[in-house]
Structure 1
Amino acid sequence: MSKRATVVVDLQNEYLPTGKLALSGIEQTLANAARIIADTRSNGDPVIHIRHEFTDPDAPFFVPGTDGVRIHSSVAPQEGEPVIVKNYPNSFLKSELKQVLDEKGIEELVIVGAMSHMCIDATTRAASDFGYKPTVIHDACATRDLEFRGQTVSAAQVHAALMSALEFAYATIVTTDEYLAK
């Protein structure tokens, strides 16, 4: 077994058009993430699923016990794959993610999921800070339009800004096809 794992961050029903926090291009993100997961499994490397859930039942989204917190069926965990529930954008914060990775001797992380500007950003930076070597599959990540002081920033711009910042100092950024061609 290699020292690489794929971390699937928050690919949950809440991000679908039927959810409370629809993301731009989520269908293609799910399709690309499924390809990365299949490749990971075929190589015998671990797949670790992260599921965001707020502890407050009055939260505006990711409410415990709802369909929105379920991991989408196209990227669902297989038997034996860990599912780590988190309550913060950073998948490492107050979770057992680091312990699971260290127990498996993981050194490299392949990161896919949502949202680019929150949980992917926070998790990737933390992974780098902990000494892991992260690779983000940017077309297997999604985000949404944001607003800043009355100005709408398109999802494409948000995604590009975050990926360029991560590539500058924290991670290798590649497409699904580039990653699978290696």
Structure 2
Amino acid sequence: MTDQITTIAGADLSGDYTFSGFGGSLPLGSRPALVIVDPAKAYSEPSSPLYVGAEEVVTRIRTLRAAASAAGIPVYLTQVLYDDDAGVLGGLFFSKVPALRHFVAGNPFSDFIDGLEPQPGEMVITKHYPSAFHGTSLAAALTATKIDTVLITGFSTSGCIRATTIDSLQHGFVPVVVSNAVGDRHREAHDSNLRDIAAKCGEVRSLDQVLSYLRTRSEA
């Protein structure tokens, strides 16, 4: 069966996706919100085991955030935070991923990255699982303000970015992952997840494309 599919669709993965009927597109709406997923020092500090070498990504997130503010769209920041070392609020996720101990309250790695701290008028969503939607009020807040499109940036591509993208779609918001304003520890994980997101559950756009979209919205 595998050999037959390879023969029909070709060995190239994108060809297989096209052959299988993936890779449609979703039009971006007129009422976007920006969700900055987990801009925590755990990802930006070289001494952290979760460090992703995020300097360029952090710079792009700042640029995107400034553009969102200028366009007058709502900005949400998420943070992973647990009350104690038992991680009860994280359930099996906390047990599965020992690195989550760095997000226990009081751990400096759980703090916001310098320059990405919450600003007046921005909203902070505290979460305990990968998705910004799971167990939080984010979907209700977006619905109440008639948001139709969610611009997604932050960390990490293969984990919380992907989970947030899937839940955004499932809650009825067009998810747009800003490809060069998200980061992961390994390039292979980053690239493969962006490719899969683009094929199956969201739009993947560059920072320049999203900035152009925001400028168009401001002019409108």
Same fold (TM over 0.5): yes
Higher strand share: 1
**CA distance in 2: counterparts of 1:64 and 1:130, whole angstroms:** 29
Structure 2, unmatched stretches of 5+, are 1-29, 87-99, 214-220
- Number of residue pairs matched? 170
**CA distance in 1: counterparts of 2:154 and 2:147, whole angstroms:** 19
Percent of pairs with identical residues:
27
- Please report how far the alpha carbon of residue 119 of structure 1 lies from its aligned counterpart in structure 2 after TM superposition: 0.2
**Mapping 1:15-164, distance limit 5 Å:** 15-16=43-44, 17-23=46-52, 25-57=53-85, 60-144=101-185, 155-164=186-195
Q: TM-score, normalised by structure 1?
A: 0.88
Structure 1, unmatched stretches of 5+, are 145-154
Aligned residue number for residue 151 of structure 1:
none
Structure whose CA Rg is larger: 2
RMSD: 1.4
- Please report how far the alpha carbon of residue 63 of structure 1 lies from its aligned counterpart in structure 2 after TM superposition: 1.4
Q: Any runs of at least 4 consecutive aligned residues in structure 1 with deviations exceeding 3 A, and if so which?
A: none
Q: Which amino acid aligns with 2:47?
A: T
Higher helix share: 2
Q: TM-score, normalised by structure 2?
A: 0.73
Say whether the 8 Å CA contact 1:55–1:87 is kept in structure 2: no
**CA distance in 2: counterparts of 1:119 and 1:56, whole angstroms:** 21
Pick aligned residue for 2:199 from 145, 149, 168: 168
